[in-house]
Structure 1
Amino acid sequence: MDGTTGYRNKIDPSQEEYDLDEWPFYHLVKLTAAYHQKMDAALKSMELDVPRWRVLNILARRPHATVTEISVEAVAKMSTVAKIIQRMTMQGLVETRASTEDARATEVLLTDLGREKLHTALNRAGAVARQAFYGVEDTEIQTVNQICRKIYGNLLP
């Protein structure tokens, strides 16, 4: 098969055989929306949301990340991440300082309160993950990750 016939026509919006229910990105959007709804509900009482959770999670792995590094890893616009970090600073979850390596860059660091919230948020995210992956085999999760990485690579410039 040359990749343009059969099943590929069902996932090509330009083809007559295109079928939305077979379109992987449709399912990815639905999955992401359901995940965000569950996570927002789990985090709401902590005065967190998914964007703030994402920043906390990134800072747990990169304790002195710059705003630029966070925006790249969070796959979000720098201006959006800057606003999120401003809100998190007002909440006392993070603090910012000029980078020791490049004074033009701003580093973001977790505060003690941020670490406390992160610990609780990780437990709540774990509950969402256990629900999401209930009945899904480890090999299936690995396959989904491999396929997502491959497609992501195909879409990079």
Structure 2
Amino acid sequence: MTKKYAKFLPSGDDFNLEDFPYYWVTQVHAQYVLNVDHALKKYGVDNSRRRILLALKSKPNASVSDLSEMVVSKMSTTTKIVYRLKDEGFVNTYSCEDDARITRVVLTEKGHLMTQKINDLMNIVLEQSFEGLTPLQIEKMIESLKHIFKNLSR
């Protein structure tokens, strides 16, 4: 490891947790989930369901496998959430015409209405979280996170 990153690694004698980038990534994510869960509680939807519903909104008729990749979740976990959402009337499932082994998922009208409610609540949380930042700062942060993700995905 080169010395240029030594300040950011927990292996040094003078390590400060607040200099560790992943400390802040996890802190921000955990606080975001807490805030979103709190806001969604009145609709009976948790963060896991929210993630699947919004993934379906952005990719209609996605397969369970696609959803699993999109929300970075194990296939078994995603399957359980999808069938929970189906039982609640937010999604329907069907077998793919080309390959019956593939289960596709589609939002119901109730699911579309819930994604709108979720987006309305998330807008409030996002505005709160980005207060004091310019759109350019947010864009730069997103580009940096994408770059780090790409590096970790190799």
TM-score, with structure 1 as normaliser = 0.93
Aligned residue runs from structure 1 range 35-114, under 5 A: 35-114=32-111
Aligned residue runs from structure 1 range 109-124, under 5 A: 109-124=106-121
Q: Deviation of residue 3 (structure 1)?
A: 4.3
Q: Point out where structure 2 has 5 or more consecutive residues left out of the alignment.
A: none
Aligned partners of 1:49 and 1:119: how far apart in 2?
15
SS at match of 2:3: coil
1:91-131 Cα distance to aligned partner (Å, 9 max, x none): 00001110123211100110111111111111011111111
131, 145, 149: which one pairs with 1:148? Answer: 145
Question: Is the 1:66–1:106 contact (alpha carbons within 8 Å) kept by the matching residues of 2?
Answer: yes
Aligned partners of 2:92 and 2:33: how far apart in 1?
26
Aligned partners of 2:112 and 2:29: how far apart in 1?
26
Aligned partners of 2:150 and 2:137: how far apart in 1?
20
TM-score, with structure 2 as normaliser = 0.95
Q: How many residues are treated as equivalent by the alignment? A: 154
Question: Is the 1:11–1:24 contact (alpha carbons within 8 Å) kept by the matching residues of 2?
Answer: yes
SS at match of 2:61: coil
SS at match of 2:100: coil
Q: Deviation of residue 151 (structure 1)?
A: 1.0
Counterpart of 1:4 in structure 2 is 3
Letter matched to residue 143 of structure 1: K
SS at match of 2:105: strand
Q: Point out where structure 1 has 5 or more consecutive residues left out of the alignment.
A: none
